[in-house]
Each structure stands twice: as C-alpha cells, then as structure tokens.
Amino acid sequence: MERIGKLPKLYLAIVFIILYAPIFYLIFYSFNSGGGMSDFESFTWEHYAAVFEDKRLIVIVLNTIIIALLSALLSTTIGVIGALAINFMRNKKMRNAVLSLNNILIVSPDVIIGASFLILFTMIGVKLGFASVLISHIAFSIPIVVIMVLPKLSEMNPTLIDAARDLGATRKDVMTRVILPFIQPGIFAGFFLALTYSLDDFAVTFFVTGNGFSTLSVEIYSMARTGISLTINALSGIIFIVTVALVIGYYALNRKMKAPLAGVKK
Amino acid sequence: MTRDLNLMERLPMKNNRLRSIYSVPYAAWILLFVLAPIALIVYYSFFDLTGNFTLSNYRNFFTSVYLQLTTSSFWYAFLITLFSLLIAYPTAYFITKTKHKQLWLLLIIIPSWINLLLKTYAFIGLMGLYGPLNALLEVVGIGKQQILFTDFSFVFVSVYIFIPFMILPIFNALDKLNPALIDASRDLGANSWTTFKRVVWPLTINGVKSGIQVVFIPALSLFMITRLIAGNKVITLGTAIEQQFLVTQNWGMGSTIAVFLILFMFIIMLFTTGKERGATGNGKNR
Amino acid sequence: MKSIFQAAILILLVSGILIFINHELNEGGSSGKNTITVYNWGEYIDPDLLKQFEEETGIKVIYETFDSNEGMMGKIEQGGTSYDITAPSEYMVEMMAEKNLLLPLDYSKIPNIKHIDPYFLDLPFDPKNKYSVPYFWGTVGIAYNPTLLEGQTFESWDSLWDPTLKQRVILVDSARETVGMSLNSLGYSLNSTNLDELREATDKLKALTPNVKAVIGDEVTQLMVNNEAAISLTWSGQAADMMYENDDINYVVPEEGSNLWFDNFVIPRTAKNIEGAHAFLNFMLDPEVAAQNADYVGYSTPNLSALELMDPEVVEDERFYPDEETRSHLEVYKNLGLELLGVYNELFLEFKMNLR
C-alpha cells in the first residue's frame, strides 16, 4: 500500500483536531474549581471525586452502556436480516417501497417517535422502564444498520455465490462463509452507528422510560434548566478516556493475535 | 440493478417459506414500529385542537410560513450534506491509506459517543466571543468575529454531528477498491482526475449514496442545534414539529408537518434510486 | 465471520457483567410498598435532603427527571408510570387539574403548610391550593452585564429597543415570555386575549429585530457567564445562576410589570404511595429543609419561616425577594386555553422567521 503524503496527513490532522476539540474543551473544564465552563480558576479533582460518590449517577451510566450495547447488537442482527431481505427482493418497486419505509424513522423527529412509541407501549401494556427503552432503541437503530449494510450487499459479486454453490456449499455455508464475511465492514459500521444513535438519544428515551429507569442523556437534558454541573464533564472525561483505552487496547490485542499470520506481509 | 436481483435466485433455497421465516423480525419491526406509528400520525393529522375532524391542518401547511420553513429546511439540509460529503470523502480516502486504518476509523466514531448536548455547550464556549477560536482569529490578525448564531456556525456544527455517518459508508466502499484497477487505469494513461471520475467514483457511488441518505434525511428534521447554535435564526421543519408537539400541544398540526416530511423523504428516495440505475449503467460501460 | 460471532458473544458477556454490577449497586431497588417516585427537574433539589428524608421516614426515594412541563404532562397523561410527586409550573398545575391528572391534597397530613407566606397561597391557578403547594417562585426580568455596556439601564422594557444595542439582546425561546414582555412594554396584560393587542405586541417585537442577537433557551446562562451576551430576557432563577458565576451581572424587573412564576409540588393521579407523597410534601415544607434546599438550588423560596434561617444578605436582596410595591406589578400566567396558546406561538414563530 502506498505511503500517505504530507498534505493528506495535515488534512487528517485538522479533521481529528476539530472532531476532538469540543471533547477536550469539556475535559479541560472538568478540572475547574469554579462553577462552570468558563473562567478557569484553579485545578481540582473534586468533580471526579463527586462522580464516584454519586451512586445514582453510576447506575445511570451503566444503564446507558447496557442499553447501548444490547440495542446495537440486536438492531444490527435485525438490520442485517432486513438488508438481506431487501437486497433479495425480486420486485424493484417493492424493494424501493420497503427501503423508503425503512428510512421513515430516520426522517421523523424524535418527539414524534417518542410520543408514538409511548402510545404503542401503553396500548400493548409493556411496562415502562428497561424493556421499553431497549425495544425503542433497537427500533430506531435498525434503519441505519440497513443503510450501512446494503451498499456492501450490492457490491457483492454474484459469481461468488455461484462458485460456492458449485462447490457444493449448503445454504448455511453460503451465508456464513461467503455473504457475511463480505458484508462484515457494513455490519460493523451499522453496529457502531447504532451505538451512536443509542447513546445520543434523549427525546425517545424520555417518553418511553419510567419506574426509576433513566439514561445519561435524559439526566443531562433535564439538568439544562438549572445548569449542567461539572460532575457531568468529569464523567464524560472518564467515559471518553476509558473508551479510547479500550478501543486501542482491543485493537492492539487483536493485531498481536493475528501477527504471526500477517507478519510476512510486513 | 438486475445484477443483485439475480443474486437471490442463485442462492440455494430449499423453499421460500424458510427464507421468509428469517425475515420475520424485520417485517415485525416494520409493522409495529414503522407502519403503526405512521398510521397514528396520519390519523392525528386530521384532527384539530378540540378533537374534531378537519382538513385545516393540511390547508395550514400551504401557508407561507410552512412553505418558507420547508424551503429553508431543504436548503440547509443540502448545504450540510454537501459539506459533509466534501469533507468526508477525502477523509475516508486518506484513512484507507493509513497503516492502522481500522483504528483511525474507530477514532472518527468515538467523539459521537459523548453526549450531544454537552458537545454543543462546548461549541458555544469554543465559538464564543471570548473563546479559543476568536482568540486564534485575533492572533492571526483577522480580529474578533461573531461566529455563534450565524449560518456558518449552524452548518459547521451540523456537519460535525453528521460527519461519521458520511465517512463510514464511503470508507467501506473505498476500502475494498482493488488497487489493481487504479494501477490499470494509470497504465492506460488516465490522469488522476480521470481515474477518479471513471474508476473510483463509480465504484464508490453506493457508499456515497448511503452517506447522503443518512445525512440529508435527518438533517431535514434537525432541531436543538437550530436553537443552541443558530439562536433560532434558522428554523427547520423539525423545530416546528417539536414546538407543535411540546409547546402548543397541537398534535394535529405537528403530525401534519411530519406527514409532509415523510412524503418529502419518499420523493428523495425515488430520486436517489432513480439515479442508481444510471450509475450502474456507467459501471457496465466501463 | 468468526470475528462477528466473537464480537457478539463478547458484547453479551460485557452486558451481562454490567447488569450484574448494576443490580448489586441498586441493592433491593425493588419497588416495595415504602418507596415514592419523585419526578422533578434535573438538579432541582439538594440530594442530601433526599437521603435525610429516607433516614427520617424509612421511605425510599426514586428520583426521575424531566426537562419540560409539557413533556412531563405528556408522560403522566399517557400513564404506565407511577410517579408520586411531580413539580409543574403554575400554568401547568391549572392545565393538569383541568385534565383531571391531579389528586387533591390532604392538609391534615401537611401541617407545615403554615410556614408558607400567605401571599403565595390561594392563587387563581389553584384556588385554595387544592392540588399544589408552592416550591420555588420568581419573576421574569432583564439580566445584564454593565461592564459590557455603556451605562444603559433597564428600569423599563422599552430600553431594550434602544438603537445603540444592535445585536446585543438575547430573548428566550418561549412565546408567553417574549410576546408577554412586548405586551407589558405596551402597558397591556401578560394574559391578553385581545387579538389586536397581540398583533400590536408582535409588530413591536419585530421592531426589536435589529437588536436581537439570538432567541435561545437555558443555554443563556452560559452565554451571559462567558460575557458572550450583554443583555438577556430571563427568569430570576436563571439570573441567580448567572450571578453566582459572574459577579458583574445584574438583574432587574422592569417597572411596567412582569410575570410572577411558581414551581409547585403536586401529587399526580399516577401516584401509588399517597401517604408517602404527603410525608414528602410535609418534609419539604419544613423550614430547615426549605432553607437548606433554597441555598442549594439558589431560587427564591416561598417559605417564610425558612427565610429567617437563611443568610440575610440573600433574603434582603430585592432583586430576588422583591418588596410589596414591585410585587403589585407582577402577574401570574393564566391558562389561556390551547387555542390562544396556539395564537401566541404562531405570532412568536412569525417574529422568529423575521429574524434573518
């Protein structure tokens, strides 16, 4: 693979600086002994200490992560099935119709999704709380997965399947050994963006939650009127650092395990 | 895309029933979480505040206020999509060229996992009159600028939010691009631009289209940013719906606007899938 | 392919562990008989008081938060939840009472009501305080930062229209407050139902356009603290937050009159533990508790006995505890009905679309 030049490096550097600027800004002020995100007074760890003292906050953070992971996993599963179904549709008109239906939840503002899901849940008698929030997050993350997987499916060369079939592969083999590996990047993209959807959502969760169950977004938005405390900044800082560490750690581990195989390439 | 359609027939299916069993969860999702809410929205859109059947909501939509909102929503969604694409394409391309591309790609997504409201507050601080950005402008000699509450800040922050959604599908398309194809094109004497236009772009068009869909469609109904970053100087259909549902509690009118949003989305889908055929045509000519 | 399944199993494993940890942390979070669920604005109560209440009464408090009156009502109206206490603003108390979403209070169980200033009791939005007890109150006024201005003052709403204030004024993204401010400046009532008056107020508001920097919500606190903005139309509670962080800021209620607002505790129809809810109300009205809470939240308390326990400097601050004379110019919002609320919002939208 060709080496990356100076100009592209600079370009990427700028993109990354902009992407991380607001996060570093948040983390910077999490060390502020003053009350808010301006006028840095002096350095303190007190907001970090406050995070670990607040058991309710920790429970909420864990709730948020559990919901995000499970909803992303399940929506990815259903979304991949959906993408396969759409891709294999014979009737082009039907295909477009289903694809449009798929995108409705993306275009609908959260208030509408939240309100209509709430009506739906109370109608069929789902108890508001963990289950209703999980189901809603799965529901609004499915379309993004479908959209991420579809282009990979349409890129796939049908001769691959023919070849596999000629070699006597069963239906299951074709799926697990040919199709899924090929669309894997699309699946991962869908999964990660589903995580984003879940972690970012406020309005839908607000409507469908209840019985003491809360997520971080709901908590943060409802603080807006009286002012978001720097404890939340500190918390975001911790989450951010842990996430980056996990991602880099996982990546390094993965490479190490694969290294003996890939070693020759280097 | 007749190519894909054949794909299905080539799959060794025992029978169709087995295949449809697998599709049940997705079909159930469409039924419960897409069709049912739409039915509800369409139903509500025919009622006024007092609960009487009426068509007045639809009549209201065609007043100048909502038409103006529609055009401005489309205009800003267009700008946001355009800039997202312009920034995301090279980013995705350069990332495919890096050594640890999977890692860099993940690092693009991670910022989107931090709460949006917090990041927006951070932007208010960063772009403020006494914020770091203005300090930089002053050092460079441009001097203090009002950045917040302008079209620039609105489009900038929106692009910031949507950029991972654009980068991912484009990266996936570029990543699998066979370098031999590009070499072949070069060997045949094509310059970089021709190579890009004739070889790279057509092969990544599906990824780009996915990106456009997941940016343009939600950008139509953006809210919150319109208030926090644009100070309500930009108002979109999403803002209007939110107001109707939460403040005015006129669910009828809110639903009517939502019905139109969904209609617009269907039109966009028709438009983009229409284009799809053309693109494949190009590909075949190649 | 293998990596997909591996990843899926890993995620399930991690989720399982997290669920377990969460369960341990929640220790007996099962909603037994002696719990109450309090549904309040975020950061709007001193968390130490919740602990104190739990220790004193043995009733466990589950605390949930909302970010708008309307969102809160939407949830209570739809049901499926069991909130025992919630905190609507005054107009929302009226609306919820109208929709039959509230339970009448039993004052034999809330003896501490005697500590509340009679001035704040028996108001039109809830006659005889059948459903609500006041929690915090305040006014709407102008927060401004003299160090960024050239000596302008804001005793009158009209001074916002001063042509030297180009792009300086921040308005609040709420129709009743902003249109109401314009109505007040014309000498009309905040609760005007006269369409001509409303039209006149909107036109006057449009004339303010060159001075308007932005129309925003709660973010105004940060903008004022950062010196990004010099003047803002704001609630007294938020002004107090601003002044807490930036000493330069001042707050004034213009003389033509303004709004007097309340946040109140009510027991919604969804309540399961009505006994516990009353105990909670009585606890919150205890002077010492109210004083500590007012100190934490920074808003004005209606609890007369609590005022005696508080820092005199705070209590004597006329900006947040205005005298009789100022109070007489203040009006409480009336529930104008959805139709008129729609009119206010349409006019406000017209003004906002005119901003560009």
Pick A4's closest partner by Cβ from B32, B98, B238.
B98
Question: Chains with ≥3 Cβ pairs under 8 A against A?
Answer: B, C
Task: Kindly report, residue by residue over A79-116, the tens digit of the pLDDT.
Answer: 999 999 998 887 888 888 899 999 999 888 888 999 99
Give the per-residue pLDDT at B182: 80
Average pLDDT on A28-39 reads 86
Give the per-residue pLDDT at B18: 55
CA distance B248 to chain C (A): 5
Q: Does A197 reach chain C within 8 Å, measured CB to CB?
A: no
Which percentage of chain B shows pLDDT scores above 90? Answer: 56
Residue C34 and residue C13: Cα distance in Å, rounded? 34
CA distance C131 to chain B (A): 23
Number of domains in chain A: 1
Shortest CA distance to C266 belongs to which of C118, C144, C85? C85
Task: Kindly report, residue by residue over B158-182, the tens digit of the pLDDT.
Answer: 999 999 999 999 999 998 787 788 8
Give the per-residue pLDDT at B16: 57
Average pLDDT on B222-228 reads 89
With CB atoms and an 8 Å threshold, state whether C228 touches B231: no
Q: How many CB pairs under 8 A join A and B?
A: 283
Rounded to a whole number of angstroms, the distance between the first and last alpha carbons of chain C is 53
* Domain containing residue A214: 55-227
Sort out which chain A residues have CB atoms less than 8 A from C237's CB and list them.
226
| Two structure tokens written together for C197 | 């008056």
Pick C43's closest partner by Cβ from A38, A122, A226.
A226
The mean-pLDDT minimum among A141-150, A158-167, A198-207, C281-290 falls in: A158-167
Residue A4 has pLDDT above 80, yes or no: no
Residue B285 has pLDDT above 70, yes or no: no
Buried b (16+ CB within 10 A) or exposed e, B238-271: bbbbbbbbbbbbbbbbbbbbbbbbbebbbebbee
Mean pLDDT of chain A: 88
Q: Does C216 reach chain B within 8 Å, measured CB to CB?
A: yes
Q: Does B284 reach chain A within 8 Å, measured CB to CB?
A: no
Domains, chain C, with CATH or none: 2-137+262-315 (3.40.190.10), 138-260+324-353 (3.40.190.10)
Q: What is the ipTM of this complex?
A: 0.89
The mean-pLDDT minimum among A167-181, B122-136, B214-228 falls in: A167-181
CB B63 within 8 A of CB A135: no
Residue A266 has pLDDT above 80, yes or no: no
Task: Kindly report, residue by residue over B92-122, the tens digit of the pLDDT.
Answer: 999 999 988 999 999 999 999 999 999 999 9
Pick B113's closest partner by Cβ from A151, A171, A195.
A195
Residue A264 has pLDDT above 80, yes or no: no
Residue B25 and residue A185: Cα distance in Å, rounded? 22
Q: Does B43 reach chain A within 8 Å, measured CB to CB?
A: no
Give the per-residue pLDDT at A170: 82
Give the per-residue pLDDT at B1: 39
Give the per-residue pLDDT at C203: 96
Give the per-residue pLDDT at A258: 67
Tell me the CATH number at A89.
1.10.3720.10
Residue C282 has pLDDT above 70, yes or no: yes
Task: Kindly report, residue by residue over A141-174, the tens digit of the pLDDT.
Answer: 999 999 999 988 988 877 878 888 888 888 788 8
Q: Which residue of chain A comes nearest to C297, CA vs CA?
A: A226
Residue B241 and residue B61: Cα distance in Å, rounded? 12
Structure-model confidence comparison of residues B127 and A253, the more confident one = B127
Give the per-residue pLDDT at B12: 46
Average pLDDT on C282-295 reads 96
pLDDT band at C132 (very low <50, low <70, confident <90, very high): very high
Task: Kindly state whether residue A44 falls inside one of the protein's structural domains.
Answer: no
| Two structure tokens written together for A169 | 């592969």
The dotted CATH code for B64-285 is: 1.10.3720.10
Residue B147 and residue B127: Cα distance in Å, rounded? 6
DSSP string covering A245-263: HHHHHHHHHHHHHHHHHHG
Q: Does A198 reach chain C within 8 Å, measured CB to CB?
A: no
Residue C73, exposed/middle/buried by CB under 10 A (0-12, 13-18, 19+)?
A: buried
CA distance C124 to chain A (A): 26
With CB atoms and an 8 Å threshold, state whether C66 touches A206: yes
Mean pLDDT of chain B: 85
What is the Cα gyration radius of chain B?
A: 23
Sort out which chain C residues have CB atoms less than 8 A from A128's CB and list them.
80-81
With CB atoms and an 8 Å threshold, state whether B249 touches C70: yes
Give the per-residue pLDDT at B184: 84
Residue C247 has pLDDT above 80, yes or no: yes
Q: Does C244 reach chain A within 8 Å, measured CB to CB?
A: yes
Question: Chains with ≥3 Cβ pairs under 8 A against B?
Answer: A, C
Give the per-residue pLDDT at A259: 58
The identity of residue B266, as a single letter, is F
Mean pLDDT of chain C: 92
Task: Count CB atoms within 10 A of the CB of residue A10.
Answer: 11
Give the per-residue pLDDT at A143: 95
Residue A47 has pLDDT above 70, yes or no: yes
pLDDT band at C2 (very low <50, low <70, confident <90, very high): low
Q: Is the dihedral of CA B185, B187, B190, B194 positive or negative?
A: positive
Identify the H or E element spanning B206: helix B201-220
Task: Kindly report, residue by residue over C186-210, the tens digit of the pLDDT.
Answer: 999 999 999 999 999 999 999 999 9
- Helix/strand/coil (H/E/C) assignment for every residue in B210-266: HHHHHHHHHHHCCCCHHHHCCCCCCCCHHHHHHHHHHHCCCHHHHHHHHHHHHHHHH
With CB atoms and an 8 Å threshold, state whether C8 touches A122: no
Task: Kindly state whether residue A59 falls inside one of the protein's structural domains.
Answer: yes
CB C121 within 8 A of CB C105: no
Task: Kindly report, residue by residue over C45-104, the tens digit of the pLDDT.
Answer: 999 999 999 999 999 999 999 988 988 998 999 888 889 999 999 999 999 999 999 999
Pick B217's closest partner by Cβ from A106, A111, A220.
A106
Residue C307 and residue C228: Cα distance in Å, rounded? 34
Residue B5 has pLDDT above 60, yes or no: no
Identify the H or E element spanning B77: helix B64-97
Residue A57 and residue A63: Cα distance in Å, rounded? 10
CB B73 within 8 A of CB B260: no
With CB atoms and an 8 Å threshold, state whether C227 touches B248: no
With CB atoms and an 8 Å threshold, state whether B131 touches C226: yes
The mean-pLDDT minimum among B9-18, B269-278, C331-340 falls in: B9-18
Strands C132-144 and C60-66: unpaired
Identify the H or E element spanning A137: helix A130-155
Helix/strand/coil for C334 = coil
What are the domain boundaries of chain B? 64-285
Residue B4 has pLDDT above 70, yes or no: no
Give the per-residue pLDDT at A2: 52
**Helix runs in chain C, H state only:** 2-25, 47-57, 69-78, 90-98, 175-185, 195-207, 220-225, 236-245, 274-285, 287-297, 304-309, 312-315, 324-327, 337-353
With CB atoms and an 8 Å threshold, state whether C219 touches A223: no
Residue B11 has pLDDT above 60, yes or no: no
Which of C92, C349, C350 should one mutate to test binding to chain B, selecting the residue with the greatest count of B CBs within 10 A? C349
